[in-house]
Amino acid sequence: MLSESSSFLKGVMLGSIFCALITMLGHVRIGHGNRMHHHEHHHLQAPNKEDILKISEDERMELSKSFRVYCIILVKPKDVSLWAAVKETWTKHCDKAEFFSSENVKVFESINMETSDMWLMMRKAYKYAFDKHSDQYNWFFLARPTTFAIVENLKYFLLKKDPSQPFYLGHTIKSGDLEYVSVEGGIVLSIESMKRLNSLLNIPEKCPEQGGMIWKISEDKQLAVCLKYAGVFAENAEDADGKDVFNTKSVGLFIKEAMTNHPNQVVEGCCSDMAVTFNGLTPNQMHVMMYGVYRLRAFGHLFNDALIFLPPNGSDND
Amino acid sequence: MASKSWLNFLTFLCGSAIGFFLCSQLLSILLGEQGDTQPNILHNDPHARHSDDNGQNHLEGQMNFNADSSQHKDENTDIAENLFQKVKILCWVMTGPQNLEKKAKHVKATWAQRCNKVLFMSSEENKDFPTVGLKTKEGRDQLYWKTIKAFQYVHDHYLEDADWFMKADDDTYVILDNLRWLLSKYDPEKPIYFGRRFKPYVKQGYMSGGAGYVLSKEALKRFVDAFKTDKCTHSSSIEDLALGKCMEIINVEAGDSRDTTGKETFHPFVPEHHLIKGYLPRTFWYWNYNYYPPVEVSLEILLYKYLD
């Protein structure tokens, strides 16, 4: 009896040690996924307002219409309440928004990817979007349902960028040698990047379906690896003051952190005025954001925007 | 003997499998996500106050929100500045010693800066914050008494400094620009007051305490006078109702604060409660209290209550 329990215990110990070793190894390979290094980014800036104002009004109207953004939102059945909120709020401002789900969900229309693996879903979604819509849209924005995006600010940011160039932008994180765009802040790909990505999706050596050795590598990192082979590099999107426009946190969290870390700069340190995304919102918060961004106005304050975007027809919450 | 070692070996294998499994579960939890829980606050009593925080979401540090002015470089605030000069509002915020750090501090750093004058009313004086000491006790049953004394203080010291006198709680957010737009159409020498109008108990209705209310100069004068001449009673544990009853007695009109499309501008709850259809159940007292029929949420919101 004693020898059995001791061998059992030895087994447990060995098992856990083995497991810990593998995890360490996995992390070392990826390069400490949870730690972020912010130097040596490729930075991409928003257009300068003065430059925009130099363009005539008609040209500006033409420009704002020439932007066609296709939104891809990857959902799973457990995201149903977020899905509903996202559907009723910001995705209405995409030129087209499609929901790609892991399986068929009766409540909402979606395109069934028939896999619950996030990387596979992402690949299939990108392939679908490219195959079906590459001639109608020039920018492709991928997000999770926990993200709130201000599509008009996205369009403004992309204003002077040529979609026939390979753009891959959002909130970047450096992990060892790899710089990738975090899926939580939203991923933007130009049509050229989509082309290159889709040509590589069929080559398993460059773009494997199962990336990690033993532990899974997150889908945003896998995407970056794949795109790197195609010569497409991640760039961090910033405004004229160097602030991130794609955010992986919510406003509430930013303020909380600012209050603890640098309380004298709660507003300055926080968020860009032309922020495109915030992440980590609850469904209720999405509705409040929608209200705050598009409807609530302080009387007597006039913001002279360089571009005008009109709300979609028949929409009642913006 | 062979079977025993075989058994040992098997146990060993089992052990290692279990060890591996447990370890991977532990690691996945440690490295995994955490869910967000939102407290669901529905007030079953219309005259209830927001229960005291358990201090979990206590934000540390001093803030400087004045930095805000440099953010919007192309903003034209001429109309707003004009109104700031024309429609002078004195705001007084109902607070207490235990809420200065938790709540009143944030009011002070944010919307209160847009008032022409702001005062923080507490049971005790605090020279550093600063707060006015009303020399009362704290507690729900003291609210009306604090309100009376606060208005009295404002009347005795600041009557000529403003046209309109607003009372707000330390968990309310006020958009002063929009309030000025509303009040710009009325004469402060007339006896009138505005807020979220409730219909029960008082013929002309009364204003919800939670959503905040604002008195004209004439209304303030009459209110303070009413206690000197015993027209209104001092004692009540329901602040907003008592004030509403008093207003009716002294002939101060309960104004209509709705916007041009008939939507309410003063809100007794947080935005989510008002924005999301069906959030507040049909059986909730709120629907029976509203003086005006419900329309969707206003574009020109003035007030929000119970904010963290």
Cβ distance B12 to A267 less than 8 Å, yes or no, reads no
- In this prediction, residue A181 carries a pLDDT of 95
Reduce the DSSP state of residue A238 to 3 states and report it. Answer: strand
Cβ distance A302 to B77 less than 8 Å, yes or no, reads yes
- Nearest-angstrom CA–CA distance, B189 and B166: 15
- In this prediction, residue B304 carries a pLDDT of 59
- In this prediction, residue B54 carries a pLDDT of 40
Q: Is it the case that residue B48 has pLDDT exceeding 80?
A: no
- In this prediction, residue B154 carries a pLDDT of 97
Cβ distance B178 to A273 less than 8 Å, yes or no, reads no
Q: Is it the case that residue B129 has pLDDT exceeding 70?
A: yes
- Nearest-angstrom CA–CA distance, A162 and B162: 55
Report pLDDT digits (tens) over B208-261. Answer: 999 999 999 999 999 999 999 999 988 888 999 999 999 999 999 999 999 888
- Give the best residue of A5, A17, A18, A19 to mutate against chain B (max B CB count within 10 A): A19
Backbone angles phi, psi at B54, to 5 degrees: -85, 10
Q: In this complex, which of A14, A16, A260 lies closest to B22 when CB atoms are compared?
A: A16
Cβ distance B15 to A49 less than 8 Å, yes or no, reads no
Report the percentage of chain B scoring pLDDT > 70: 80
pLDDT mean over B177-184: 94
- Give the best residue of A2, A8, A274, A285 to mutate against chain B (max B CB count within 10 A): A8
- Nearest-angstrom CA–CA distance, A233 and B147: 62
- In this prediction, residue B16 carries a pLDDT of 82
- Nearest-angstrom CA–CA distance, A244 and A248: 10
Tell whether A3 is within 8 A of chain B (Cβ): yes
Tell me B300's DSSP state: S
- In this prediction, residue B146 carries a pLDDT of 93
Our CA-based measurement puts residue B305 at a distance from the nearest CA of chain A, in whole angstroms, of 14
Among residues A279, A89, A269, the alpha carbon closest in space to that of A182 is found at A279
Cβ distance A15 to B15 less than 8 Å, yes or no, reads yes
Cβ distance A291 to B271 less than 8 Å, yes or no, reads yes
Question: CB of B215 within 8 A of CB of B223?
Answer: yes
Confidence tier at B90 by pLDDT (50, 70, 90): very high
- In this prediction, residue A145 carries a pLDDT of 94
- In this prediction, residue B50 carries a pLDDT of 46
| pTM confidence score | 0.79
Buried b / exposed e along A207-246 (16+ C-beta atoms within 10 A): beeebeeebebbbbbbbbebbbebebbbbbbbbeeebbbb
Residue by residue, DSSP assigns A285-300 as HHHHHHIIIII---TT
Return the structure tokens found at A217. 């590598």
Tell me A246's DSSP state: B
Reduce the DSSP state of residue B133 to 3 states and report it. Answer: strand
- In this prediction, residue B140 carries a pLDDT of 83
CA distances from A88 to A81, A145, A248 (A): 11, 12, 21
CA angle A122/A125/A128 to nearest 5° reads 150
Window 228-267 of A: residues touching B by CB (8 A cutoff) are: 255-256, 259-260, 263-267
Segments of chain A with pLDDT less than 50: 29-40
What sections of chain A are H helices per DSSP?
2-30, 49-54, 57-66, 80-88, 118-133, 151-158, 191-200, 219-229, 251-261, 283-290
Report pLDDT digits (tens) over A26-53. Answer: 555 443 333 333 334 578 877 777 777 7
Q: Is it the case that residue B94 has pLDDT exceeding 70?
A: yes
CA angle A257/A260/A264 to nearest 5° reads 100
- In this prediction, residue B34 carries a pLDDT of 36
Q: Is it the case that residue B97 has pLDDT exceeding 80?
A: yes
